[in-house]
């Protein structure tokens, strides 16, 4: 799985996804790197709903037998669609069942057979209409490769009652999404959000109940984490309503599959669509917004939208969509009401904190002066598999009185919390850093995620979060006057004092003499090594 999710990795290994990954990886020679994940994940989804259907069928057969119903009558009842949909199991028509597909895995027309199966499932399950991949034949994948992949997927039980209870498929999805993101690199066209970053956003804003919105939802990871948060804190998935939008058609289908396997109801619009040029939820005022928009996007049709109603704080530059996204989020946040206003948590490129080009500084100033910026977190480098762009987290609140916090919070109007988390996390390999605290609820306070969340919740005055205090090098609460004094720049390093250096008890003069002696010793070793290398080159005839 993605290297930042060990629970998913462990479950994935239980079903031998390393072998499956190797088979999937071979497909890259046949199709575009940015698209081949949809081939694999589409087949996994097909296997899942077929497994779930078969499990329900077997259980139904036992129930009928116990009632004395067998033979032709039982067979007829076993093919009744309502017997499955009533149990929230997708109806799988005979031609789409996995055993039929796998039996013809070596058929030269296997691609078309899969497309037909996907069409049949969409036809008989209105919720999935237009949301499954139906382009296997068009991709031109060699039948033997596709057939081999089908055989491997066929060896994994992912839709049985036992597997569903363990959310095996959900974890396999996470494993593959992370693997594909790492394999695709910047060719993927999308920035896969690390699970630790999603977890941090969700833990910070605590979406217990209400409308959750992600207008650039990708594969739906924000929604999955939000639901898990609610259920882990004693709530129900019925406590939140999910709204999303995604412009990439294949990713939009992937999001529907990702949510369907978990039984999550979501309104992602009737079709994939660009949030700027065709907002599918124009009247939505969300209680929570969670998002990781594309960074520094230049081709966002800004020239066509100069007078859009969303730009209350100033028209965003045509060449960069960062402040278009920020204002889009603010536009869709619920205004202050009886229980408080909406809150947004989202990822942004660091440039958004200080840029003054093309009017961005003026827009940022207007947002700050409207007292909307609740918290800024500077994130450590190398968290993202697919981009090296330094990032930060913004938290925007339409109501800082504390009314929109479960159990109540303190009035923090005129204040913003700055957190510098750049030193957090550990390098898992040369290119990837991970934050601790991604597994299990509640998040432990001694983890990276827990420490950031605890500081924010204490500053907000949440019940049981403890007393907040500024910590040099980590966090500081600043006033609007402080931010004005820094020219409305939001870089946490401007506000968070340097970390205190621990006194090791060694007098300064003694330490300098020791370190100087060590340095001269290293110089001497370097000179000796250089002399040996030159002597060896002379002996080989390559000297000067």
If pLDDT is split at 50, 70 and 90, which confidence band does 441 have? low
DSSP assignment string, 88-122 = T-----GGG-HHHHHHTTT-TTHHHHHHHHHHHHH
If pLDDT is split at 50, 70 and 90, which confidence band does 300 have? very high
Q: What's the confidence (pLDDT) of residue 6?
A: 41
Is the Cβ–Cβ distance between 332 and 284 less than 8 Å? yes
From CA 312, how far away is CA 500, in angstroms rounded?
A: 41
From CA 53, how far away is CA 155, in angstroms rounded?
A: 17
More confident residue, 480 or 34: 480
> Left if phi > 0, otherwise alpha if psi is -120 to 50, otherwise beta: which for 210?
left
Residue carrying the six token digits 């009533």: 86
From CA 332, how far away is CA 289, in angstroms rounded?
A: 8
Task: Check whether 394 has a pLDDT greater than 70.
Answer: yes
Q: What's the confidence (pLDDT) of residue 194?
A: 80
Least confident of 71-75, 175-179, 480-484: 175-179
If pLDDT is split at 50, 70 and 90, which confidence band does 5 have? very low
Task: Check whether 3 has a pLDDT greater than 50.
Answer: no
Task: Check whether 92 has a pLDDT greater than 50.
Answer: yes
Task: Check whether 4 has a pLDDT greater than 90.
Answer: no
Per-residue pLDDT of 328-381, as tens digits, reads 999 999 998 877 799 999 999 999 999 999 999 999 999 999 999 999 999 999
Chain mean position to CA 197: 7
Q: Where are the beta strands (DSSP E) in 356-458?
A: 373-378, 391-397, 415-420, 426-427, 433-434
More confident residue, 143 or 156: 143
What's the token pair of residue 268?
A: 């992602």
Task: Check whether 492 has a pLDDT greater than 70.
Answer: yes
Give the Cβ contact number of residue 97 at 10 Å: 20
CA atoms 206, 209, 211, 216: torsion sign:
positive
Task: Check whether 245 has a pLDDT greater than 70.
Answer: yes
From CA 423, how far away is CA 88, in angstroms rounded?
A: 46
pTM summary value: 0.79
Q: What's the confidence (pLDDT) of residue 526?
A: 77
SS3 33: coil
> Left if phi > 0, otherwise alpha if psi is -120 to 50, otherwise beta: which for 396?
beta
Least confident of 31-40, 148-157, 211-220, 533-542: 31-40
Q: What's the confidence (pLDDT) of residue 446?
A: 86
Task: Check whether 117 has a pLDDT greater than 80.
Answer: yes
Report whether the peptide linkage leading into residue 442 is cis, meaning its omega lies within 30 degrees of zero: yes
Q: Quick one: average pLDDT of 95-107? A: 93
If pLDDT is split at 50, 70 and 90, which confidence band does 321 have? very high
Q: Quick one: average pLDDT of 115-119? A: 96
Question: To the nearest whole percent, how much of the chain has pLDDT over 90?
Answer: 52
Element (H, E) at 240: strand 240-244
Provide the mean pLDDT of the chain: 85
More confident residue, 249 or 496: 496
Q: Quick one: average pLDDT of 480-485? A: 97
Q: Quick one: average pLDDT of 29-47? A: 75
Least confident of 1-10, 92-101, 327-336, 341-350: 1-10
Task: Check whether 11 has a pLDDT greater than 70.
Answer: no
- Which among 361, 368, 367 has a CA at the least distance from the CA of 313? 367
**Orientation angle between helical segments 36-66 and 249-260, nearest 10 degrees:** 30
Q: What's the confidence (pLDDT) of residue 32?
A: 64
CA atoms 320, 325, 326, 331: torsion sign:
positive
Q: Quick one: average pLDDT of 266-285? A: 95
Task: Check whether 432 has a pLDDT greater than 90.
Answer: no
If pLDDT is split at 50, 70 and 90, which confidence band does 315 have? very high
Residues 6+ away with beta carbon under 8 Å from 542: none
Least confident of 109-118, 132-141, 225-234, 502-511: 502-511
From CA 143, how far away is CA 359, in angstroms rounded?
A: 55
- Which among 348, 359, 317, 356 has a CA at the least distance from the CA of 487? 356
Cα angle for residues 457, 461, 465 (degrees, 5° grid) = 50
CA atoms 196, 202, 204, 208: torsion sign:
negative
């Amino acid at each position: 799985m993605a290297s930042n999710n060990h629970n998913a990795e462990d479950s994935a290994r239980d079903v031998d996804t390393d072998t499956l990954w190797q088979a999937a990886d071979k497909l890259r020679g046949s199709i575009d790197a940015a698209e081949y994940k949809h081939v694999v994940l589409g087949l996994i989804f097909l296997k899942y709903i077929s497994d779930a259907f078969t499990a329900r069928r077997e259980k139904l057969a036992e129930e009928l037998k116990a009632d004395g119903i067998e033979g032709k009558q039982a067979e007829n009842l076993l093919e009744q669609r309502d017997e499955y949909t009533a149990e929230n199991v997708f109806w799988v028509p005979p031609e789409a069942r996995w055993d039929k597909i796998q039996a013809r895995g070596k058929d030269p027309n296997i691609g078309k057979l899969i497309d037909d199966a996907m069409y049949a499932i969409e036809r008989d399950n209105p919720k999935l209409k237009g949301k499954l991949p139906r382009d296997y034949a068009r991709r031109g994948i060699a039948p033997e490769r596709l057939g081999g992949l089908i055989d491997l997927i066929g060896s994994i039980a992912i839709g049985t009652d036992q597997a569903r209870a363990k959310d095996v498929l959900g974890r396999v999805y996470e494993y593959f999404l992370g693997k594909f993101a790492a394999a695709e690199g910047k060719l993927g066209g999308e920035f896969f959000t690390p699970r630790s970053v999603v977890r941090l956003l969700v833990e910070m804003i605590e979406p217990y109940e209400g409308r959750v919105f992600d207008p650039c939802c990708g594969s739906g990871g924000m929604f999955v984490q939000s639901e898990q948060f609610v259920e882990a804190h004693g709530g129900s998935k019925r406590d939140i309503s999910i709204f999303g939008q995604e412009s990439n058609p294949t990713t939009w289908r992937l999001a529907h599959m990702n949510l369907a396997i978990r039984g999550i109801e979501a309104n992602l619009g009737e079709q994939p669509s660009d949030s700027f040029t065709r907002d599918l939820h124009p009247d939505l005022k969300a209680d929570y917004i969670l998002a990781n928009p594309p960074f520094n996007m230049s081709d966002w049709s800004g020239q066509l939208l100069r007078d859009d109603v969303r730009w209350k704080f100033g028209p965003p530059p045509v060449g960069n969509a960062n402040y278009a996204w920020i204002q889009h989020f603010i536009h869709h946040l619920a205004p202050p009401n009886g229980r408080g206003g909406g809150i947004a948590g989202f990822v942004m490129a660091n440039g958004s904190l200080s840029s003054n080009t093309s009017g961005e500084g003026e827009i940022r100033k207007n947002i700050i002066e409207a007292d909307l910026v609740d918290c800024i977190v500077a994130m450590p480098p190398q968290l993202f598999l697919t981009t090296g762009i330094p990032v930060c987290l913004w938290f925007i609140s339409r109501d800082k009185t504390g009314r929109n916090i479960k159990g109540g919070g303190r009035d923090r109007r005129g204040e913003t919390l700055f957190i510098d988390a750049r030193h957090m996390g550990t390098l898992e390999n040369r290119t990837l850093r991970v934050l601790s605290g991604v597994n299990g609820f509640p998040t432990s306070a001694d983890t990276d995620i827990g420490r950031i969340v605890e500081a924010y919740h204490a500053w907000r005055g949440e019940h049981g979060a403890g007393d907040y205090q500024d910590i040099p090098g980590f966090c500081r609460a600043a006033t609007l006057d402080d931010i004005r004094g820094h020219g409305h720049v939001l870089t946490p390093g401007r506000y968070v004092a340097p970390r205190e250096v621990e006194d090791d008890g060694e007098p300064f003069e003694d330490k300098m003499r020791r370190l100087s002696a060590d340095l001269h010793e290293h110089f001497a070793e370097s000179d000796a090594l250089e002399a040996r290398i030159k002597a060896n080159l002379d002996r080989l005839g390559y000297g000067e």
